[in-house]
Structures are given as C-alpha cells and as structure tokens.
Chains A and B, each alone.
Chain A
C-alpha cells in the first residue's frame, strides 16, 4: 500500500482519536502526562519547583565547574543550559505593547503559568528519575530572562554567580582567538570561525563588556526581586576556598548535603585534578587565576570594561579601577 494511503488512514484515525479525547474524555494511560500545576500553582508530581536551583550570571564565570560539583551528591542532577531564559528575553519584545501581545502585562498571571509549565514539563521529561531530588539549572546564557523565570517559579532557589568582568572578558578573548576552543567549536558547527577577537580586539572587548552588563545586570535585578532562597557566589571565593563557599551556598539555599560527599565532589573537580594537557591558553580550562586580566588585557581594554560594567564592578569588586589598585 503506498505511504500516502497509510497517511490518509492515519488522519482518519487521528480524527476519531481526537473526538474520543475531546468529547468523551477517554484516556489510555500509555503516555506520561505532562506536569500540571494544581490550583495553588504547585507541581502535581515529578520534580518539585522548590528543589530547583537556578544558576544565573554570565558565561566564563565558572558555572560549568560549579554545576559539575553540584551534580555529585546523590539525587542531584544538572540541566545544562536549557536557554529557556533566552526564549523569554523581555528585551526582544520591548516594543510590543497592548493587550493583544501574547506576553502583555495585563495577562501576566496567565502566561507566567505557561512559562512555569514549559519549564517543569521540560525538566520532568528530561529527568524522570529525579522525583524528590534536586535539579540545578545551569543557565548563565539565559540570564536575560532570569526575572521572568524566577517569577514563574518563586519557590525555586537562585544562585547569582559573579566573576570580575575584566577576567570574564579576558577569558572570552582567549576562547575566541584563532585556535581558541570557542573558535574551534564554531568551526566544527559550520559557523563562521573568524572572530572579532582577532580582527578588532578592542571592539570585541566592548561588545563582551556590554553583554556582561546585560546578562549579569538582568540576573542581579532578578536576584533583588526574588523573595525565595538565594545566594550570591563570587568565582573568586570559590577559587579561594571551594569547600567553604559550597557549604555556605547550600546553607543559604537550605539544601541538605552530605559533607563527606561534598568534600569528594570538590576534590574531584578541583583545578589540580584536571589533566595538564586540558589546561592552558586557548583551552576551556585556561588559568582559573583571579585578576589574570592584568596580564591579558591592554590598559585601554581594562578601562573599557571598567567604564561599561561600572555599576556591577563597584558593587561586587569595590576596590576601584585598576590604576587605583596599583
């Protein structure tokens, strides 16, 4: 029988099935139901929203390292960059107003519930084994939507992961230069591998400082607005005393962890335990040295980053601009 005829038969059967589902309410119980929220907005099964921990900030702040350590305890998993925050980036729709726009403020309660289901359904589909466990969502690249996500999931915990913007920009500069890991990855993806880091490094620095301000600024505002459990973690503190910082983080988030297991996780993912050949210039694991920007950036580039990211730099790294630090 030609495929076309099969399709026709299937269409007819699909119609009959739709009729049964819609008109008679027949269910078969063979497909896992998507997570729904009960009238109080709580999850009715699967991963509990209060057991989700969102990591926001920006790229190159040690979020992969932090997430790797968070995945070690029993019953803990990591959702690695779902980018859900980017889908609901409010800036994309700034110009759209009025009651007709799907994300119109007048109907926020309606669409926030959909965003919540969008996330919870996605989490449960990917981590069906995790019911009752903890899910860390590593989402630095989706920080622009952090505000909406935390509003949709107010019971969830939030980590605002911060790193000196000068080191962040220096790290990106290294990653996207010729031979850098990001450049190689783009080439493998078939995307344009040529980088602004090579052709115009100062413009590259400006662009990434802007991105830092946009991403971390959005995450910062979400952090302020979030009434639930939350904690600021500085990359520099993680590097200086990883175990202590991890314990503080879990304490603030009120997540119970076995200390011996945490010690193992910290040890397993320590800088010293990364093979030597995987570390160095142009590699994903580069220096892990706070303030390495002093060697990596030109004076002009440092000034550019300091000027653009001033509000965040002053708040989290208050020692002042480079000249004053000597």
Chain B
C-alpha cells in the first residue's frame, strides 16, 4: 500500500465551446497522501471544480484533457470503463455542494446510501447492507434510524451528513469534497467539518477539499493550493498560506474574512476589485496583473512559473521577496 493516493501531473482541461476554447485548468500538479487533507481555494471560474471532476473523469465530453491523474497509481485518463466504475465510489468518491439537489427526493436516504454498496458488492446479504448503512450514519453523527427518513424531513446539515455517509459507503481511499459546507450556517458547518476531519484521522483516507473560503481551509487542511485563472499560484502548509501568504491573490483571499476582534477590520471590509479574467483571452503576462495591488510593468511580460521558496512553499509571482 503506497501512501500517495492521488497524483495530478501537469493537468490541463480545455472546454471547446462555440465562442472559442476555454482553458479551465492549465498545467496543475498536486498530490494527496493517505491521512492528508489538501485544500483548493479560489473564486468561481478559477478551475477548482473542473479539477475536482476531472480527477474521476467526470468532466463534460467537450473537454480536452492532457496530463495525468493517478489514483492509487492507476492512470484515470486511460483506464478501461470497468476499472473506472470500480474506482468511482470504491476508490474515490465525491461530496458535492447543495445536498438538497443531489439527493433523490422520492427515496429514503437509507436506500440511497445502500445503492452504491449493492452495486459494488452484489453478494452482500440484505441484512448486512442495512447494518452497514446504520454504521455509516452513526459515523457521520446521525442516528441509524434516520435511514428511514426522506431528504425533505432532514435539515440542511443532516442532508450534508447523508451525502458524506454516501461518499463513504464503499470505503473509498480518497474523498473529494466540492464546497460541502458552503450552504450551511456556521454552527452546522463546524459540525460537518468536525465529522470530516474525524473521518480522515480515523479511517486514514485522503481528502481533496475545495472551497472559496480560505479560513475554512486553514482550519481543516494540512496543505492549501490557491488557484487563479486555471493555475496553482500558491501552494504550501495551510497555516502558512493563510497567515503569511506569498502571492498577492492569496493575500486578498486571506484578508476577505476578517479576524473578529481585529480593530483594523472594523468598518474596513477588505475586497479585491475587478473581475477574474476571461479565460478565452488570457494575456501574455501574469493574469492577475489587472487586479494586483503589487503589479509592476514587468508583470505583463510573461506568466511566472510556480517557484519554490523557504520551507517548501511555492508561489507564482515575480514580486515575492521584492520590496
């Protein structure tokens, strides 16, 4: 058993559309080990959700993919269909945001959790499946009897827990969580995050956790990758990236959620002006230049590569280390 669960190598995903090619992911490399939570941060359109779905080859057919994604050493992009089916759910599973829309409203939640188990282990006795469903619900902090409930009878937080139980149903090694707490309020969010980090610690699974909220990632993750315009612009230990960001974009994300009690944040919400770039018309230089508070003339010459700094931290910005 290798420790390396997920290895993404120089992955690029381009959507072919009628209005031109949209390079949603541009040369991303990232790894997730067993027992590790890696966060991916960025705003809408930065490519983080495309990255998540491409890991399980769930990207739309119009997408052109290059590079490699290896889960447990096997290349997902070249895998045979049968192997891919086994991989989805049993090797790796996804928790999407918006549990209300992802659960089937006319089936009891226990049934929905049982479905992937029955598909992947058709020889399992019915009683055994029921017991597994009960165990899974308890693992995520719901009473086993909740298996009989319909989605509308559960609150938002409970539904999100059901989604997590479902993702764990086939004992995957890797869990991909795409904004699983975004629609929840703070108390429920922290309950769900507790469940997730408990599972990673207990079961030794690895997790790729996607969110636009850097403060949530800083609390939960071991490492954080910050994405902008389809590329990783900063990568490092979670605390470091949040408290001492190198890239100006990471700094803006970090400042977006104030530290309560910080007098400097009173009546001074920190925002980032402008909009993310149109991916069809990317400039030659760093795509963050038009919004960057630290930009200099040189920034528009060439897109900076991800360079390594102290303590294994990485950032793609020529201004790092400059006054």
Q: Are the chains A and B members of one assembly?
A: no
- A residues contacting B by CB (< 8 A) are none
- B residues contacting A by CB (< 8 A) are none
